[in-house]
Amino acid sequence: MKLTAIATTCAFLIAMGISHANAKDSKDGKVDQTVTISGNDTMQFDVKTFEVKAGSKVKIVLKNIGLVPKIAMGHNIVILKKGITAIAFGQKALGAGANATNALPDSLKGDVIASTKLLGPGETDSVVMKAPSETGTYEYVCTFPGHFALMRGVMTVK
């Protein structure tokens, strides 16, 4: 009986697009703010700017709402440290060997505040981060090869 209830709950969570990682995030404590961003097959984020409070706990949710397979149109979101531009970082990622299966090489992670995994169509991932304590603007980008030209935005810390 208990196994049936667990299986039913898991099936419901999967159907609702809630992964184990997302369920764990909510158990780790409350977040101050949740920002949901979608990426599509025209290499666009639906949210180009958002604001967070300095030092707050922020959950970033990325949804790939496209239909094109991940190998051709995967999406992630990478929040960059202050002063690092999405364009420069995207070019640096290409030079470091970013590709369709590893869009964020380990050698670049020193420039990153937080990032999601690379998503295929219909997939969702989230990351919980502490917003920087320094106010200002921080760029974010999709590092799938070539996407940095269009898939980028700005997080403003107030």
- Domain positions in the chain: 1-29, 31-157
The pLDDT tens digits for 35-49 are 999 999 999 999 999
Note the pLDDT of residue 91: 97
Note the pLDDT of residue 29: 72
The pLDDT tens digits for 34-87 are 999 999 999 999 999 999 999 999 999 999 999 999 999 999 999 999 999 999
Write down the CATH number for the domain with range 31-157.
2.60.40.420
Q: Which two tokens stand for residue 78?
A: 């990478």
Tell me if 32 sits within 8 A of 53, measured CB to CB. yes
Note the pLDDT of residue 22: 35
Question: Is the whole model's pTM more than 0.75, yes or no?
Answer: yes
Tell me if 119 sits within 8 A of 76, measured CB to CB. yes
118/27 Cα distance (integer angstroms): 24
Burial of residue 98 (CB within 10 Å: 0-12, 13-18, 19+) is: buried
Asked if residue 132 has pLDDT above 50, the reply is: yes
